[in-house]
Amino acid sequence: MRDALLRDLSALPYKIRTTVDARLASPMLVPGAIVINENDDVWQVWKQQIRAADAVWLIAPETDDLLRKLTESAVEQQKIIIGCGSRSIQITSSKLATYQVLQQAGIATIPTFTLENWPKNAGEWLAKPDDGAGCDETFFFRNANDLATWISSWNKARSYIAQPFQAGIPASISCVIHRGRAHILSCNSQIITIKNNQLKFGGIIVNGMREYWTQFEMVANKVAQIMPDLAGYVGIDVIVNNDEVIVVEINPRLTTSYCGLIEATGANPAELIMNTLTHENYRWPELEQNVIELHV
């Protein structure tokens, strides 16, 4: 994902700076990347790099408030942010808060409960970290009794939420949002399996759900309208069940799908995003809808 974004930005007239973990290979497209070593104060390094930039594009998980804290650091330093505002990041970093906002807006979503007040209804259940990203530590239970037993034995259960398992096709919407309007980049199907009672993310088929373009565009625009400071690239995870599009969660950052977008769209997605956020009334080109498989 990092290298895909750097590739696309390198084709544009910008000077790029980035950081890299010392345990990883430095990106070839950005000579002189700032190496972060084990004993470095990583937050101090990031703040210094934000201070030196005119604009920042932050890629971080919502977990432990990482993305929100980085965004607030950029706001404090009055930098242009190629991404979402703090308020929308705060909401979308919590699955419970996201559910409440979607439900209040009348957008189809999955009922979400704390593990203190879940209704113990019959049927299959999922337990997820409230601030988790993707399928990380997402557990599947065939019935309420199994979930109840797990809650009593799992020492991190207080930070989890419960959702009834929703049948259907796991999918996602890759879009660019600006001022309450969403532009669709691709409509994707997700490769998700259940192994040892845990959800596993195996990859994504970019534009694997392109026949749902119109429906996904309607959903993305509804989401854009209820969170005014969603901006830049946003990934919306959904489940399609009998042609109903049900929103699962909203990712206020780059997602895996980005890696296949240049081939899927026939355009430079970073250029589309930058132009949408910085050019008044920017007119989008007609995008290709090629199908690209990405496996992890």
User: How far apart (Å, rounded) are the C-alpha atoms in residues 283 and 279?
Assistant: 9
- Are 215 and 200 within one domain? yes
Using alpha carbons only, what angle is made at residue 182 by residues 94 and 53, rounded to the nearest 5 degrees? 75
Domain boundaries, position 16? 2-83
- Tell whether 52 and 29 lie within a shared domain: yes
Comparing 30 with 43, the larger pLDDT belongs to 43
**C-alpha of 155 from chain center:** 27
116: helix, strand or coil: coil
Enter the pTM of the model.
0.96
**What was the pLDDT predicted at 85?**
97
Range in 82-91, 127-136, 164-173, 283-292 with the lowest mean pLDDT: 127-136
- pLDDT of 94-103, one tens digit each? 999 999 999 9
pLDDT surpasses 90 at 137:
no
Q: What is the CATH number of the domain that holds 288?
A: 3.30.470.20
Contact 231, 84 (CB under 8 A): yes
- Looking at the fold, whether 99 and 212 belong to one and the same domain comes out as yes
pLDDT at 72: 97
Structure token pair of residue 67: 């993305």
| pLDDT score for 32 | 87
Q: List strand residue ranges (DSSP E) for the chain, in order.
A: 19-21, 34-36, 55-56, 80-81, 113-114, 125-129, 139-141, 160-164, 169-178, 181-195, 198-206, 232-241, 244-251, 292-295
Q: How many structural domains are present in the chain?
A: 3
pLDDT band at 132 (very low <50, low <70, confident <90, very high): confident
Residue 155 banded pLDDT, cuts 50, 70, 90: confident
Distance of CA 177 to the CA centre of its chain: 13
Q: Are residues 67 and 186 in the same domain?
A: no
Mean pLDDT, rounded, of the chain: 95
Which amino acid is present at 282? Y
